[in-house]
Structure 1
């Protein structure tokens, strides 16, 4: 009986900790772009805060994904909600007056971005990132990118980029001339 109570207590603690913590899956820009609702270059105009969030007022400059499907349907097209607390994947610190390339999720009619998402100062965007945003990432979303914690693949899958890391989160997983997904040169 005591062992069962102890196990139940441990399970509840693990659940509570997991609910209170933030875990980012992949650090791959391509995965962020493919999984987000909107990818936009936006200028940060101002911000306000409440107890939980920092609400950035933005002006969209260029869309890479999701304008018609998501952005145009929003009632509030100028507020980007970001968390302030680390336990919910914050904080996101964007500088007023600067433009950023952002991956955005729409939840309950509002745009959201966390520190797991993309926030790249537009003037510092790499050529690889810009080429990916110009269509290469979205064209190759069917190429699977393993999570950093995944076991290495024993077999070669035509839809999976094998584990490879060159220190650049903007690298592209794309189909080669044989139709296999491979990491493109860094």
Structure 2
């Protein structure tokens, strides 16, 4: 299973216990799924059909560098290169930001990640990786078009008061403050979209916002 709410940027903390031995841990800063979409190189829907551990070289101490390769069946590309992706790569454990996915081919996933220099897709627990069935209708609509409409906006995470926006192109994300969760209503039902006066505001609705959209519904 994936780590719920893991749509963030990885921070690797290296603690040297003694010469030649390094312990790693993975920490994620909160991100709205719209931010994860806009920051990702690739966002796709897929089933996972296979898994293998591969060695990509050695570290400075001569230890093998391992990665997990998940073979996938791509079902839909929301953002990414004009080609099919048949595999994604991740770390061998959650300690180094690796994700664990079901390989039965029975579960559908929404997976976001980065393209590496060798053009392969790399995914961490801090990327937006969710079971497709767990996504709300608003999140699915966001993947189709709405999130892209808001990529010029900035979402400001409010973890404690006081907090406020400093620019009209920002939306204040208050889920943690109001719901004590980073998966509250704004994550599940809202998109931060640029309006025709170049300001940004939260939008909620069952249909895509009109081009001349100016008014909003408060979250």
The two structures have a TM-score, normalised by structure 1, of 0.75
Higher helix proportion, which one? 1
**Counterpart for residue 207 of structure 2:** none
**Counterpart for residue 38 of structure 2:** 34
**Counterpart for residue 114 of structure 2:** 105
* 146-155 or 95-104, which deviates more: 146-155
**Counterpart for residue 70 of structure 2:** 56
1:181 aligns with 2:200: yes
Which runs of structure 1 show a deviation greater than 6 angstroms over 4 or more consecutive aligned residues?
Answer: none
Which string of whole-angstrom CA distances, capped at 9 and with x for unpartnered residues, describes residues 104-151 of structure 1?
211132111111111222233210111101110011111101245698
Pairwise CA distance, 1:178? 5.0
CA distance in 1, matches of 2:31, 2:100: 16
Residues 154, 173 of structure 1: alpha-carbon distance in 2 compared, 3 angstrom cutoff: closer
SS of the residue corresponding to residue 81 of structure 1 reads strand
**Number of positions where the alignment pairs a residue of Structure 1 with one of Structure 2:** 166
**Counterpart for residue 215 of structure 2:** none
The one of 146, 162, 166 aligned to 2:156: 146
CA distance in 1, matches of 2:161, 2:201: 17
Query: Which structure 2 segments of 5+ residues have no match?
Result: 1-12, 16-22, 56-65, 205-218
**Counterpart for residue 172 of structure 1:** 191
Query: Which structure 1 segments of 5+ residues have no match?
Result: 1-14
SS of the residue corresponding to residue 182 of structure 1 reads strand
Q: CA RMSD in A?
A: 2.8
The two structures have a TM-score, normalised by structure 2, of 0.65
CA distance in 1, matches of 2:165, 2:109: 39
* 29-38 or 93-102, which deviates more: 93-102
